[in-house]
Amino acid sequence: MADKIKLAVAILILMTGMAAFYLLSEQSTLLRTLGLLVVVGISAAIALQTEVGRSGWSFVAGARVEARKVVWPTRKETTQTTLMVVVMVVIVGILLWLLDMGLVWAVRVFTGS
């Protein structure tokens, strides 16, 4: 029950901050943005105190660990792959254009135009 109350408070604080951001439009955009960031930080800190928040944070931490394990391609590999994709797109485009021209010719032959 306490987790639900904490989440409700976090959402209420966040919604209040967003409403204040738009209602105080006569204030400086920089101040409103900084205020909104503070409100988001406060509501996130409250939400992270719940079981849902902790499990969400552990998911993000696990995702970061997995992202570090990714072997990214080198610049040369990326360039070669990109060039191969461009060449294949051009080849398939030409083949489809030829197929279209053949179908147009066949329709003209069959319709007599």
User: What letter does residue 27 receive in the DSSP assignment?
Assistant: S
pLDDT value of position 62? 95
pLDDT tens digits, residue range 24-45?
A: 989 899 999 999 999 999 999 9
CB 50 within 8 A of CB 7: yes
pLDDT tens digits, residue range 67-79?
A: 999 999 999 999 9
Residues 6+ away with beta carbon under 8 Å from 53: 7, 47
Give the chain's mean pLDDT: 94
The Cβ of residue 14 has, within 10 Å, a number of other Cβ atoms equal to 18
pLDDT value of position 1? 85
